[in-house]
Structure 1
Amino acid sequence: MSVEVQRGYAKGRAKRREIIDQAMALFGEVGYRGASLREIAARCGISHPGLLHHFPTKESLLLAVLEHRDEVDIAWVGLDQTDGVVTLRRLVELVELNAGRRNIVELYAVLSAEATSAEHPAHGFFVERYQTSVGAAVAAYRQAGDAGQLRPEVDPEVAGRQLIAVMDGMQVQWLLDGGRTDMIGAVRALVSSHLTIEL
């Protein structure tokens, strides 16, 4: 492969990433339905047809945004962990990370609410995402239980669902009150109350 072709690919990847970043910001500001591809293209300094070269539909761009964010977070949490307490600790740390990413948190809050409609292009993504998130939390609690680190009265299935619900609910409260809600403390307190060891 020639140097020119390699540079072209690198330039294309960089532009694609810029489009995803700008789309993520705009979707967070006005929601998926309120955002237009023309506005995203303008923010990236390219034409509307230029954007369509990278993402032929608004739906394809939305899914790229969602998949990119989840890839980053899954790598952060390390869902392939076999130590349940380590995974639970990383989930609490993810809440801490999100406290510094208001636009991304807003994007997910807006889109997950919009996507409850079966007609929304991200509906399938969010259905699968919640199954994965709850499944990972339940597995972490089971692993903690197997290691003797879970309080005997705690049901891993219930605790896993509670954790994801509290993470999402605290994010909404945090968004609505301008970041004054201590979502990190609330999530850490919940997880700590389930364990027999210090989180």
Structure 2
Amino acid sequence: MSAARGPYAKTSAKRKQILDAALAAYAEAGSRKVSVRDIASRVGMTDAGVLHHFGNREALLAAVLEAREAAARDAFGDARLDPEAGLRIVAANASTPGLVKLFVDVAAAAAEPEHPAHDWFTERYATIRSSLAEWVTVDAARPEGRKPTADRPAPSRVDADWVARILLAATDGLQLQWLLEPGIDMAADIAALRDVLVAGLVARQGK
């Protein structure tokens, strides 16, 4: 397939330029709010010119989060498929509080079905939950030297789904606490919780 040409290619390139500028603005913002004007000034456009490429501010912010996740996959691996990549991403998030705050803010707003990010968040959580549950079922319930047997099987998918939900809930909730108390080590806390939950499932299955 040949590369896109004409107006579409120009629009696509401009959208990428805007998203790159937005990611940089939020990454550098710290606790300071980022406005559409901040983003527009980085690409030499007006506020209206920036929003023209996305429709409205909410759609722009949803696209920023999608771009942020794509960049994280490139840098650290796909958290939807590799829980260890998820921990690396959580650790890296500590250097970009502006992007963490954006995620927390948009995630809350996206609970409304008409929000531009609603479908993205719904699919994201479903995919990560499924991936985490599969990981728990296949690998995490097998301490060194122990393999599932007929009398000591691996945790059921129901148990694994529960672990996945709790880990995701803790990750997002911990991000909010970290914004208020930056000394919290998010990645270490989530890794410790994961180990405790998995150990509990192994003990339960062994009864």
Q: Same fold (TM over 0.5)?
A: yes
**Partner residue of 2:160?**
156
2:104 matches 1:109: yes
**Partner residue of 1:176?**
180
Higher helix proportion: 1
**Partner residue of 2:19?**
20
Q: Describe the shift of the 1:145–1:92 C-alpha distance in structure 2 as closer, same or farther (beyond 3 A).
A: closer
Whole-angstrom CA distance in 2 between matches of 1:126 and 1:93: 20
Aligned positions of 1:28-107 closer than 5 A: 30=33, 35=35, 37-38=36-37, 40-52=39-51, 54-75=53-74, 76-78=76-78, 87-107=82-102
**Partner residue of 2:125?**
130
Q: CA offset at residue 175 of structure 1?
A: 0.5
% identical equivalent positions: 31
Whole-angstrom CA distance in 1 between matches of 2:58 and 2:130: 26
Q: Describe the shift of the 1:50–1:137 C-alpha distance in structure 2 as closer, same or farther (beyond 3 A).
A: same
**Alignment-mate amino acid for residue 193 of structure 2:** L
**Partner residue of 1:166?**
170
**Partner residue of 1:84?**
none
Contact residue 137 and residue 164 of structure 1 kept, 8 A: no
Cα RMSD, aligned residues only: 3.5
Whole-angstrom CA distance in 2 between matches of 1:146 and 1:173: 29
Contact residue 80 and residue 127 of structure 2 kept, 8 A: no
**Partner residue of 2:205?**
none
**Alignment-mate amino acid for residue 142 of structure 1:** T
Q: CA offset at residue 161 of structure 1?
A: 0.9
2:134 matches 1:139: yes
Q: CA offset at residue 55 of structure 1?
A: 3.2
Counterpart secondary structure, 1:104: helix
2:195 matches 1:192: yes
Q: CA offset at residue 49 of structure 1?
A: 4.9
Q: CA offset at residue 117 of structure 1?
A: 2.3
**Alignment-mate amino acid for residue 20 of structure 1:** L
Q: Identify unmatched segments of 5+ residues in structure 1.
A: 82-86
